[in-house]
Amino acid sequence: MENIEVSEGEARFNFAEGEMLLIDKPLTWTSFDVVGKIRNSLKPLKLKVGHAGTLDPLASGLLIVCTGKLTKKIDSYQAEDKEYTGTITLGATTPSYDLETAVDETFPIEHITEQLILDAAKSFEGEIQQFPPAHSAIKINGERVYEKARRGEEVEIKSRLVRINSFIIEKIDLPVVHFRISCSKGTYIRSLAHDFGKVLHSGSHLSSLRRTKSGDYRVENAWNLEQLIAEIKRHKEIIK
């Protein structure tokens, strides 16, 4: 059989011809976990399945997954601007710039005012040079840099040019700052959170993150992963 077509209410898929699936990635799942789950649910078909833009395990939200012939369009989906919401916790840093690793240093925050926070956010808007975290999926000599970092090896990473369209502070409840960011592809929100603390003459780390938009696609229109898998399994008999 060359394809699978699934219908349930308004849900209708043709995975071999190609589907672009909007998934609300669960917290603690890797992007590869999601791709693997969908690929396994489509067995025995041997289909290409890939995602358009990695989300860290400690981030939730919109993940675009493509199947079949539509995997050829992954690069174009990945090139779109992204939007995120989340929280930055001031006064402490971690080696991974988020909660994957434990706090390694603490800093005073008594001097930080609401206006300083608003000014700091504004200073990041526009094109900036950014250093990706050492705990990231970037490859150096064929190896993910987070693997080197977890072994305690020194990692030299080059900066990259990214664009911050907007950095909006939605709520301040010190030491926690709630934000909404629109940015170009390749932007590391963890690095932004880390650098945010430096601008405030303190330290900080990313304490939560959710991707809400990629291009024109919104997380409100995304599938719950388990519901999607259940939808496919209900029609398993048509896979031959």
CB under 8 Å to 179, separation ≥6 — which residues? 85, 86, 87, 88, 121, 167, 168, 169, 170
Cβ distance 160 to 130 under 8 Å? yes
Structure token pair of residue 77: 């989906």
Rg (CA), the chain: 20
Rounded CA gap, 132 and 117, in Å? 22
Residue pointed to by tokens 């064929």: 142
- The catalytically annotated residue of 24, 56, 98, 195 is 56
| Among 155, 178, 154, CA closest to 167 | 178
Structure token pair of residue 132: 């990706």
Q: What angle do CA 83, 80, 142 make, to 5 degrees?
A: 100
* 56 given a catalytic annotation: yes
Residues labelled catalytic: 56
